[in-house]
Amino acid sequence: MTTEILPLDREGICPAARQVPSPNHDARPDGDTVRVVVVHNISLPPGQFGGDDIERLFTNRIDPAAAPGYDELARLRVSAHFLIRRDGELVQFVPTEQRAWHAGVSHWCGRERCNDFSVGIELEGSDFAPFEAAQYARLLALLRGLAERYPLAAIVGHSEIAPDRKTDPGPFFDWAQVHAALPQLRPA
């Protein structure tokens, strides 16, 4: 098992990531720091991989006529800190020192507004297909870098912090692999 670590700089930029800045972020509340990592899945159009629609969504450039449902997506102002493509490419939209808009209405361990104290990582995927080995390798390396920088308490799925609204990362996400590599990040 590899123990690669992807470090972050002082602003929370990962030099190993391709930078695609999103305008959809703001400052974390005073005194808040990253305590939780939230894992999501995303594919645009749904169930299709590749293409640049995810990057377009997170940078407010999605074409509302490009696919069914995109008219609704074009009105959203959302982002994540990172996206891990199917081939393991890491894309960063928001520095981790900033609050990305990924969790929506959410709660964890009695606290609401998980965006205030979390990092959001999107895996290119869906609830209906396994993730790729390259994605897990990149995710584990990134999690190690985040754990070196922040006092992380857990890694959770979007479904755990918004159970009435979300199902991701879905039934194909291999939690056992993640927890075996990073046992200190089991959910509370």
Contact by Cβ (8 Å): 123, 89? no
* pLDDT tens-place string over residues 50-104: 999 999 999 999 999 999 999 999 999 999 999 999 999 999 999 999 999 999 9
Going by C-alpha positions, the residue among 80, 97, 57 that lies closest to residue 169 is 80
Marked catalytic residue, from 4, 11, 55, 122: 122
Question: Alpha-carbon distance 148 to 150, whole Å?
Answer: 6
pTM across the whole model? 0.97
Q: Which domains does the chain have, with CATH numbers?
A: 18-185 (3.40.80.10)
122 has catalytic annotation: yes
pLDDT of residue 188: 56
* pLDDT tens-place string over residues 149-185: 999 999 999 999 999 999 999 999 999 999 999 988 7
Helices and strands, counts by H and E, the chain: 5, 10
Q: Which amino acid is at 41?
A: N
Contact by Cβ (8 Å): 102, 145? no
- H-helix or E-strand containing 138? helix 133-149
Per-position DSSP letters for 10-71, written without gaps between them: TTS--TTSEE---S-EEEPPTT----EEEEEEE-SSTT--SSSHHHHHHTT---TTSSTTHH
